[in-house]
Structure 1
Amino acid sequence: MQLTNEQTLSAPLQQVWDALNDTAILQACIPGCETLTLVEANRYELQILAAIGPVKARFKGKLQLSDLQPPKSYTIQFEGQGGAAGHGKGAATVLLKPQDPDTTILHYTATATVGGKIAQIGQRLVDMAAQRMAAEFFSNFEKALQPVGEPLQSVQASPPAANEAKPSLPARFRQWWLRLFRKKK
């Protein structure tokens, strides 16, 4: 599976880079993310509750950052296990470019393979879930980049309502991420 997209973020390049490397911000933004822990420099462990179609599972995974070129790019290698639900492995390249002093373009390309029950669901459903989780992640991430004040208060008011009706954005992003890496092409 391959996913390529570009997002325009309303924040300066350095602020976006810092947020992409902040475990608290990432955990809050990744759909279904229950934990995200820095194990050592550029290595993380995470746990995500994810659902794709009828398959719902808790995935434990590892992330490794490499090819770091602050504040412009890095590569993420990832792998995860969700028990009987399946497993996944893949990589993503993230590139940041300033559009202007207060706006940053984030371009990413992710490739993943998945196996187990998730792989049996079908490529189209997995792709749609991945796209939905990515959209939710970037919506949450854009909100996290907003300055403290009224905009942040309205952002904080929205997630609880969304969380009551459905899994949090971070939880759904993690679910998507894990699904991407567990499916076979």
Structure 2
Amino acid sequence: MEMQGSRRLAVPQQQAWDALNDPEVLKACIPGCDKVEGTGENQYAVGMAVKIGPVAARFNGKILLTDVLPPNSYTLNFEGQGGPAGFGKGSAKVSLAPPSEGAGCELTYSATAQVGGKIAQVGQRLVDGVAKSMAEEFFKRFDAEMERRYPQAYAAEAALPPDPPPAPKKSGVPAWQWGLVAVVIIVLLFFLLR
């Protein structure tokens, strides 16, 4: 499975970088996550509960960050086990950059992942739906946490004129939905594989 996408964040690049590398922020924002612990330099252990259709499991895993260039980018390598429910492994390139216009920053990612076991057997459509839902929940929680920590950034974002309406959609799944799915899967794998 390969995914890529981007998301605009209201907070400046350094604040986004700090939050995305803070185990407590990630633990609070990732649905089902109850453990994010540093195990060494740029290494983490993660634990979380996941339910996809009839398959529910607790995943434990590890994450290793490589090619770390603060506050711009890193490559996240992950692997995790959920017992009989299956496994996941892969990597993701995550980048933060100033936006082309306005304040805040732009988060972009490109990921490849492989899942196996019962989770892989429930069907791609179901996995994609759960991943999309979890990604939306992650960003909802992340935005709420950033707004709580940095209310001035959100006030400045709210004062900007609204973006123009999007162009009419073509048939198929919108690219932003695949992006959210990718982020959720990356985050889930990141925390499951720590």
* Same fold at TM > 0.5: yes
The answer as to 2:35 corresponding to 1:24 is no
Q: Deviations over 1:111-146 (max 9, x none)?
A: 111111001111121122222212211121111111
Residues 20-169 of structure 1: pairs in structure 2 closer than 5 A: 20-99=20-99, 102-148=103-149
Give distance in 1, aligned partners of 2:94 and 2:187.
17
What letter matches 1:143 in structure 2?
A
Other-structure match for 1:162 = none
Deviation at 1:176, TM superposition (A): 7.3
- Number of residue pairs matched? 160
Other-structure match for 2:6 = 6
Give distance in 2, aligned partners of 1:149 and 1:71.
18
Stretches of 4+ aligned residues off by more than 2 angstroms: 147-151, 173-179
CA contact (8 A) 1:33 1:174 kept: no
Other-structure match for 1:15 = 15
Query: What residue ranges of structure 1 are gaps of 5+ in the alignment?
Result: 152-172
Structure 1 79/51 Cα, relative in aligned 2: closer, same or farther at 3 Å? same
Structure 1 125/175 Cα, relative in aligned 2: closer, same or farther at 3 Å? farther
Give distance in 2, aligned partners of 1:73 and 1:27.
20
Query: What residue ranges of structure 2 are gaps of 5+ in the alignment?
Result: 153-183
CA contact (8 A) 1:87 1:114 kept: yes
Percent of residue pairs identical: 48
TM-score, normalised to structure 2's length? 0.75
Deviation at 1:175, TM superposition (A): 10
Give distance in 2, aligned partners of 1:119 and 1:149.
39
Structure 1 52/19 Cα, relative in aligned 2: closer, same or farther at 3 Å? same
Deviation at 1:26, TM superposition (A): 0.7
